[in-house]
Chain A
Amino acid sequence: MEDKSKQLVQMISDMQEEDAVKLAREMLDAGYDPVKLLGHCREAMEMVGKRYEQGEYFLPELMLAGEMLKAIGDMAKPLIKQDAEGAKTVGTILIGTVQGDLHDIGKNIVTFMLEINGYKVIDLGIDVPVENFVESIKQHKPQVVGLSGFLTLAFDAMKQTIEAIKQAGLRENTKIMIGGGQVDETIKTYTGADAFGLNAMDAVSLCKQWVPA
C-alpha cells in the first residue's frame, strides 16, 4: 500500500485526475484507512501549492487539484468515524468582497482552497455592507475574517469594515486578512488588518498559522 500511497500523491500533483480518483477508490475498497488517505491528499496539495508558488502551476491547476481532493474527500469522509481526526472542521472563516466592489473570482478561489484544507467557510458574497460583516461575526464566531477587494477604493471599505468590527468589540478574538488587487504592507497598515495575502495559497498559509489543525 505504501507504493500506492506514493503513486496517489504523484498522480494528484501531476494532475492525473481520473487515475488519481480511481486509485483512491481502489485503496478505500481494499480497506485503506480513509484518514491516512486524506493525509496523502494534503501532502499532494502541498506539492501543488509549492509548484504554484514557484510558477510551475497556475490557478487552473490549483482548481483541478482541489477538485481531485474534493472527489476523493467525498469518497473517504463517509468512512471516517465522527470522532476521528480527519472528520473535524479545522476552524471557521468568514469571507466576503467589501462594499462597493463586485469582484468575486479571487474570493471564490480562496473560499475553495480553504474548504479543501478543512476549514468551514461562510461566504457573504460581493458588495457586502459593513454591518453584514459585523452581524455575521456575531452569528458565526469565525476565527478569521477575510476581506477581499480588487479596486483601490475597496481599501477604504476594508478600513471601515475593520473599524466597525473593532467598535462592535469583536476585533480582539478575530484575525483579519485582506487580499486582492494591489494590497501590500502599506494597505495592511492603512486598513488595520492583521495580514495580507497575494494569492489563495497565502490565505491558506495564514489560516493554518492562526488556526492550526
Chain B
Amino acid sequence: MTVITNLRVPLSLDDVTRAWGSRRARLASPRMLSLVTELLERVDTENWLQPAVSFRAWPVVESGPGWMELSGGSRLRASLLSHYLRGASHLALGVCTVGAAIENHVSEWFAANERLRAVVLDDIGTFALYRLSDQFETLLQKEAAVLGLEASGVLSPGEDGFELSEQAKVAELAGGESIGVSITSTGMLIPRKSLSMVMGFGARMPKWGRGERCARCGARERCPHRQQVLAGAPA
C-alpha cells in the first residue's frame, strides 16, 4: 500500500471565480471576492488543507457479471466495474482526503451563525477535494505506466451501478485508515471531504473524464458542483 501526504493543493481566487463563473450569469460581488480572498489566505497560512492519498493496485483473479475478485479473496460487486473494467489485470483502489480542518470550521461557523463564511469555505473545500482527486488520478496513471499498463477512467462508489455499500470495502483495501479516513455504518467517509475511487489497470483500458461521469450521473440536473467541477477538470 502506498501513502502520500506531502501533497500541495494550490487554490487561487482565479480558480474559485473561474469555477463559480462557469455556472452563474452574474459576476460575484466585491464583498464575495474579498471573502474568498480572506478565506483562501487562512486556508493557506493556517494549514486547513491536509491532503493525503492512499492506494494499492490489487491483481484481479476472476470476474463475472456484476463482480470482480481480487487477490486475497475480496470481491467487489458492482455492475459498473464489470461493465467498464472487465479487461483489467489490476484494480487500483484509492482514497483521498483534504482532512477535517475545513469541515470543522464550516460546522463551527454555522453554529456561530456565520453562515456565509461557512458556505463559501465549504465550496473552497469541495474545489480542493476535486483538485486533489485530479492529481490522484494523474498519479495512478503514472503507477499504471510503471507496470507497463494503461489506466482506465475513475469510478467511485455511489455512482449508478456501484452501490455506496461497497465503499467500506474499497476504503479498507485502499488503506484509508492509514490516512485517517474512516467510514460510518451507512457508507459515509469521515472526514466528509474525502473520496474513494477505483481505476482499472490493463493492456487496453477505456478512458473517460469527469464530464462523462457527470453525464451518466442520475443527480446531474440538480448537482450544484457539476459545472464548477467541469470548469477545473482535465479534458
Contact = CB atoms under 8 A, between A and B. Distances in A.
A56 B119 contact: no
A105 B120 CA distance: 11
B101 interface: no
B119 A59 contact: yes
Interface in B66-83: none
Interface stretch (B21-29, B138-146, B203-211): B21-29
B29 A15 contact: yes
A139 interface: no
A108 B118 contact: yes
Contacts of A154: 186
Contacts of A151: 164, 186-188
Contacts of B218: 182
Given A17-B31, A105-B122, A56 B25 contact: yes
A112 interface: yes
A198 B219 CA distance: 11
B186 A100 contact: yes
A6 to B, nearest CB: 19
Given A100-B185, A105-B122, A63 B224 contact: no
Contacts of A199: 222
Interface residues of B, number: 34
B119 A15 contact: no
B184 interface: yes
B105 to A, nearest CB: 13
Q: Point out which of B28, B106, B158, B188 has the most chain A C-beta atoms below 10 A from its C-beta.
A: B188
B25 A60 contact: no
Interface residues of A, number: 36
B185 A152 contact: no
B116 A64 contact: yes
Interface string A174-186: 0000000110000
A181 B186 contact: no
A64 B114 CA distance: 10
Given A102-B184, A198-B222, A55 B120 contact: no
The 4 closest A-B pairs by CB, nearest first: A15-B29, A100-B186, A63-B116, A56-B25
Interface of B: 20, 23-26, 28-29, 31-32, 106-107, 110, 113, 115-116, 118-120, 122-123, 158, 164-165, 184-188, 190, 192, 218-219, 222, 224
Interface of A: 14-18, 51, 54-61, 63-64, 66-67, 70, 100-105, 108-109, 112, 151-154, 181-182, 198-199
8 contacts: A63-B115, A63-B116, A66-B115, A102-B188, A102-B190, A105-B118, A151-B186, A153-B187
